[in-house]
A = this chain, B = another copy of it.
Amino acid sequence: MKQSAPELLKKSGLKVTKQREAILDILLSSPAHLTAEDIYLDLKAKSLDFGLSTVYRTLSSLEEHRIVEKTGLPGDTGKQYYEIAHLGHRHHLVCVKCKRCIVLDECPVESFTAAVCKAHGFTLTGHSFEIFGVCPDCQN
């Protein structure tokens, strides 16, 4: 299931540049939910100092090609979060304090979502199921 960054880029007809490769690598290796700035700082930490706009532009094209997904988190300060697209499936357990995020494998709602869509005449494109809580470390 896991693909390498250059492969993914090539498959979508995008030119393979070290900027894109590095950005995609970060997203692939992160558990989840990164902001554009997170990525920018992460790059800096690796002494890869690209412009912030490159990060944004790369994220947009990756989003257009359905490689990553953009999302918002509840109660947050208006930043956008990016993560590798999982074909419309997101199941996370998120700590509301430290934003740590655990990926859930189970999906107990597949049949439910399909039924709801059918009932309302919608064409299902995906769903998001996120549980919010305070993780053990943040409970003091």
Contact A124 B131 (CB under 8 A): yes
Of the candidates B72, B75, B116, B126, which one forms a contact with A76 in the assembled complex, judged by CB atoms under 8 Å apart? B72
> Please, how many residues of chain A have a CB less than 8 angstroms from a CB on the other chain?
42
Nearest B residue to A111, CB-CB: B108
Contacts of A75 on B, CB cut-off 8 Å? 69-71
Q: Are B108 and A135 in contact (CB under 8 A)?
A: no
Task: Name the prevailing secondary structure of the A interface residues.
Answer: mixed
Which of chain B's residues have a CB closer than 8 A to the CB of A113? 131
Minimal beta-carbon separation of A78 from chain B (angstroms): 5
Assess the B69–A72 pair: CB atoms within 8 A. no
> B121 to A132, Cβ gap below 8 A?
no
